[in-house]
C-alpha cells in the first residue's frame, strides 16, 4: 500500500488530468441527466475536441520552448475564412484551398518566428499584436455577408464525416470495431515492448501489478470509447486527423534530434546554445509548426460549421493554452507531452460541451474557463514543488 502511495505521488502530475476528466464526466452526466454521456454527444465531443487538440499540440511545442502564442484563436478563424473565400468566391478546388491555407499558416509562422528569434521581440508581444490583427482581418474577410456558407461536399466531410462502416453488427459499425481491436492489441504489444527494453537497460519500471492495472485501465477506456463511437456512426475523419497529428508530433519530440533540441532549448537556452544547437532556428521552426497547425485547426472548424463566421476561433487560444497546461506542460518551459495536451484539450472541451448542454451562457463559461486555466497552472506548480522537495 505504501508503494502505491509513492507511485501515486510520483505520478500525480500525470494522473491529475485523468482525475479531472473523470470528475467532469461524472459531474456533467449527473447534471444533464445522462445526455452528456450519450453516444451522439460523445461523438460530437470528439469532433469538437479535434480543432482544439490540434492547436494544443502546437502549443505544447511553443510552451516547451518557453514561449506563448495568443494569436492562434483568431488566426485559425481567419485562415478558415480564407479557405471558405477561396472555395466559394474563387471556385478553388477544396484540396488546393487546404494546401494554400496550410502554406499561408507556415509563412505567418516563419514571420512570427523571425520577429521573435532574430529580432528579439517577446513572443507575448508579437502574438498579441497578431491576435488583434487577425481579429481585424477575420472581420474584414467575413464582412460582406457576415457568414460565408461552404457548400463543398469534400471539405465539409472533414469535420462531419465518418470512415466507411462496412455494415453494422448488432448496431455497431464494423470498421470501428476492427480498428479498435487492432489498436488495443498494438497498444498492449508496444507497452510491453517498451517495458522490456527499459528493464534490459536497468531503468526504473512500474511494478508488474501496477503496470497491468494501468494497461487494463487504459484499454478499458479505449474499449468504452470505441464501443460508444461504433454505436453512433463510428470513427470520424477528425478523429483520424487528430490521431495522425498527435502521433507525428509524439514521434518528433521523442525520437528526433529536433525534438531533443526543443526540450534542450526549453530546459536551458544558454546550455543549448553552447551545445551547438541553433536556438534561433529551433524557435522559428516551432512557430512555423504552430501556425501550420493553426491553419489545420481553422480548416477543421470551418468544415465542421460548414461556414466561416466573424466569431470563428474566439477563445480557442485560451482552450489550447489551458489544455496544454492541464496536460502537463510546465509554465517554466522544458516539460510537456503532446499526448498530455490531447487529454488536456478533452478536459477543456468537455467542460464547454457540458456547460452548453446545461444551457449556461457564454459569459459564465468564459469565467469558468479562466478559473480552470489558473487552477491548472497552480496545480502544476504545487505538484512540481512537492516533487522537488522530495
Residues that bind other proteins (CB under 8 A): 6, 197, 201-204, 251, 255-257, 260-261, 263-264, 267-268, 270-278, 334-335, 390
CB closer to other proteins, 311 vs 332: 332
Give the shortest CB-257-to-other proteins separation in angstroms: 4
The C-alpha atoms of residue 95 and residue 104 are separated, in whole angstroms, by 14
In the structure grid, which three cell numbers stand for residue 224, read together?
468504452
Give the shortest CB-281-to-other proteins separation in angstroms: 10
Residue with cell 492541464: 326
Give the shortest CB-280-to-other proteins separation in angstroms: 10
Give the shortest CB-265-to-other proteins separation in angstroms: 9
CB closer to other proteins, 158 vs 335: 335
The C-alpha atoms of residue 150 and residue 70 are separated, in whole angstroms, by 27
Residue with cell 478533452: 346
Which among 96, 124, 127 has a CA at the least distance from the CA of 111?
A: 127
CB closer to other proteins, 162 vs 263: 263
In the structure grid, which three cell numbers stand for residue 29, read together?
452526466
| 15, 219, 282 from 67: Cα distances, Å | 25, 35, 12
Give the shortest CB-7-to-other proteins separation in angstroms: 13
CB closer to other proteins, 5 vs 171: 5
What 3-state DSSP class applies to 70?
Answer: coil
Give the shortest CB-24-to-other proteins separation in angstroms: 30
CB closer to other proteins, 90 vs 203: 203
Whether the Cβ atoms of residue 222 and residue 33 lie closer than 8 Å to each other: no
CB closer to other proteins, 27 vs 280: 280
Whether the Cβ atoms of residue 285 and residue 65 lie closer than 8 Å to each other: no
Amino acid at each position: 500500500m505504501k508503494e502505491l502511495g509513492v507511485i501515486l505521488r510520483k505520478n500525480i502530475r500525470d494522473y491529475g488530468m485523468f482525475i479531472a476528466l473523470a470528475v467532469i464526466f461524472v459531474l456533467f452526466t449527473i447534471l444533464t441527466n445522462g445526455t452528456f454521456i450519450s453516444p451522439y454527444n460523445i461523438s460530437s465531443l470528439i469532433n469538437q475536441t479535434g480543432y482544439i487538440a490540434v492547436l494544443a499540440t502546437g502549443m505544447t511545442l511553443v510552451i516547451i520552448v518557453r514561449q506563448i502564442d495568443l494569436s492562434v484563436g483568431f488566426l485559425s478563424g481567419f485562415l478558415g475564412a480564407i479557405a471558405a473565400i477561396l472555395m466559394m468566391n474563387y471556385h478553388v478546388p477544396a484540396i488546393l484551398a487546404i494546401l494554400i491555407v496550410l502554406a499561408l499558416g507556415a509563412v505567418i509562422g516563419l514571420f512570427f518566428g523571425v520577429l521573435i528569434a532574430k529580432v528579439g521581440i517577446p513572443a507575448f508581444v508579437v502574438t498579441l499584436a497578431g491576435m488583434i490583427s487577425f481579429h481585424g482581418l477575420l472581420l474584414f474577410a467575413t464582412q460582406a455577408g457576415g457568414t460565408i456558407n461552404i457548400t463543398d461536399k469534400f471539405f465539409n466531410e472533414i469535420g462531419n464525416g465518418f470512415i466507411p462502416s462496412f455494415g453494422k453488427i448488432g448496431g455497431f459499425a464494423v470498421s470501428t470495431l476492427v480498428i479498435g481491436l487492432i489498436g488495443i492489441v498494438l497498444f498492449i504489444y508496444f507497452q510491453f515492448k517498451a517495458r522490456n527494453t527499459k528493464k534490459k537497460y536497468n531503468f526504473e519500471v512500474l511494478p508488474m501489478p501496477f503496470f497491468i492495472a494501468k494497461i487494463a485501465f487504459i484499454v478499458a477506456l479505449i474499449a468504452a470509447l470505441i464501443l460508444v463511437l461504433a454505436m453512433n456512426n463510428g470513427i470520424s475523419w477528425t478523429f483520424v486527423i487528430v490521431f495522425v497529428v498527435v502521433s507525428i508530433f509524439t514521434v518528433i519530440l521523442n525520437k528526433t534530434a529536433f525534438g531533443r533540441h526543443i526540450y534542450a532549448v526549453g530546459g536551458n537556452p544558454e546550455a543549448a546554445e553552447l551545445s551547438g544547437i541553433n536556438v534561433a532556428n529551433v524557435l522559428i521552426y516551432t512557430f512555423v509548426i504552430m501556425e501550420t497547425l493553426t491553419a489545420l485547426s481553422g480548416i477543421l472548424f470551418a468544415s465542421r460549421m460548414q461556414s466561416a463566421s466573424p466569431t470563428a476561433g474566439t477563445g480557442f487560444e485560451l482552450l489550447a493554452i489551458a489544455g496544454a497546461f492541464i496536460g502537463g506542460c510546465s509554465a517554466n518551459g522544458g516539460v510537456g507531452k503532446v499526448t498530455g495536451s490531447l487529454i488536456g484539450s478533452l478536459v477543456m472541451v468537455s467542460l464547454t460541451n457540458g456547460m452548453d448542454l446545461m444551457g449556461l451562457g457564454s459569459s459564465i463559461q468564459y469565467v469558468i474557463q479562466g478559473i480552470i486555466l489558473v487552477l491548472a497552472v497552480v496545480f502544476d506548480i504545487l505538484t512540481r514543488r512537492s516533487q522537488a522537495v522530495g
